[in-house]
Amino acid sequence: MEIKQVMVIGAGQMGAGIAQVFAQAGLSVKLNDMKQEALDKGLAGIEKRLARAVEKGKMTEEEQKEAFHRLSGTTNIEDASDCDLVIEAVVENMDVKEQVFKRLDEVTPAHAILATNTSSLPITEIAAVTNRPSQVIGMHFMNPVPVMKLVEVIRAIQTSDETYQAIEDMTKQLNKVPVEVNDFPGFVSNRILMPMINEAIYTVYEGVASPEDVDSVMKLGMNHPMGPLTLADFIGLDTCLYIMEVLHEGFGDSKYRPCPLLRQYVKAGWLGKKSGRGFYIYE
């Protein structure tokens, strides 16, 4: 199956980044959002990043113009009626995602593949609300999408080999590296990363070391480019808590219990960089 026309649902940071890499790879992309304001912001962000890529000599002005020309914005989900692939990148909420997939199932052509960029929710459950579960798959991009090479390609229990192969090939066309993952809570990336972050929070909670010192140990001792608590602040502590809860609930194993200090910070509104305060203060 040939994928030519793509739609990305959700013009936030992830959705706009996904739309950008598809446009840069030569595909025609529609970026969709319910709110015109979010759509304008998403497209403006793409334009800015492409302009920066020209300044840095990573693409020519001609390539920049061509990539931006392949992009269009829409607030109407029915514009997916001619798409071969739709990628959903809306809020991490199962009810919202299921509504989006039910609607996409109605409006897209019968051959279209429906993908989700969820970082933790079960793809199998999302696939089950459609009449084409074998054509539903996870494409978990990393943030920031234009920079990060990895895409976790997640097979729901219903995903067909043809669907998987089409998405693996497409991922390579985007100049990304696909990794095949089965549908279990947290997939691979968050199943390994989030408990490490949670354990780093426990070491602060138990008074073993300060956030700065925990981060220094991991950076200088384990060669991590960024300490786990700085990374947690960048991801958003509310997101970290949410994913730990998904892991805890999904596996029913106490080793995934979110640290009480993480809960306390989230309740205080200390969500990390986006709120100005997390384990560190941001001006």
Query: So what CATH class is 5-182?
Result: alpha beta
Give tens-digit pLDDT for 22-67: 999 999 999 999 999 999 999 999 999 999 999 999 999 999 999 9
- Mean pLDDT within 189-204: 98
pLDDT for position 44: 96
Asked whether residue 219 is marked as a ligand-binding residue, the answer is no
Q: Of 117, 120, 152, 198, which residue is the catalytic one?
A: 152
152 as an active site residue: the answer is yes
Q: Which two tokens stand for residue 221?
A: 């001792």
Break the chain into its structural domains and give their ranges. 5-182, 190-274
pLDDT (tens digit, 9 = 90+) per residue, 152-182? 999 999 999 999 999 999 999 999 999 999 9
Residues β-bridged to residue 182:
155
Residue from 117, 120, 190, 198 carrying the catalytic annotation = 190
Decide if pLDDT at 1 tops 90.
Answer: no
Q: What is the pLDDT of residue 283?
A: 85
What's the whole-model pTM score?
0.93
Do 5-182 and 190-274 share a fold? no
Q: Is 140 a catalytic residue?
A: yes
Q: Let me know if 224 is a catalytic residue.
A: no
Q: CA separation (Å) from 179 to 18, 42, 113? A: 17, 27, 18
In this structure, what token pair is assigned to residue 99? 């509504």
Q: Residue 69 burial (CB < 10 Å; 0-12/13-18/19+)?
A: exposed
Band (pLDDT 50/70/90 cuts) for residue 260 is very high
Please provide the distance, in angstroms rounded to a whole number, between the alpha carbons at the two ends of the chain.
Answer: 49
Asked if residue 73 belongs to a known ligand binding site, the reply is no
Share of the chain above pLDDT 90, in %: 98
Residues making up the chain, counted from first to last: 283
Closest CA to 104 of 127, 80, 72, 129: 80
14 is in an annotated binding site: yes
CA gap 271, 200 in Å, rounded: 16
Question: Is 33 labelled a binding residue?
Answer: yes
- Cβ atoms of 134 and 158 within 8 Å: the answer is yes
In the set 140, 206, 248, 283, the catalytic residue is: 140
Residue 4 marked in a binding site = no
* 119 a catalytic residue: yes
Q: Is 244 annotated as a binding residue?
A: no
Beta strand segments in 14-161, E: 28-32, 71-74, 85-88, 113-116, 136-141, 150-155
Q: Of 32, 88, 117, 119, which is the active-site residue?
A: 119
Q: Is 54 helix (H, G, I), strand (E, B) or coil?
A: helix
Pick the CATH number of 190-274 from 3.30.450.20, 1.10.1040.10, 3.40.50.970, 2.40.110.10: 1.10.1040.10
Angle at 148 between CA 118 and CA 166, to 5 degrees: 60
Annotated binding-site residue? 278: no
